[in-house]
Structure 1
Amino acid sequence: MKRVAILISGGGSNMVRLAEDMRGDHPARPVLVLANDPDAGGLAKAAALGIETAVVDHRDFAARAAFEARLTEVLEAAAPDIICLAGFMRILTPAFTARWAGRVLNIHPSLLPRYPGLDTYARAIAAGDAEAGCSVHEVTAELDGGPVLGQARVPVRPGDTPETLAARVLMQEHRLYPAVLRRVADGETGRIDLPPPGGMD
Structure 2
Amino acid sequence: MLKQLSLASLISLSLAGSALADSFQLSSQDIAQGKFMAKAQEFNGFGCTGDDLSPQLKWSGAPEGTKSFAVTAYDPDAPTGSGWWHWQIINIPVDVTELAAGAGKGDNTLAPKGSMQMRNDYGSNAFGGACPPQGHGVHHYRFTVYALKVEQLELPVDASAALTGYMLNANALATSTIEALYQRD
Structure with higher strand content:
2
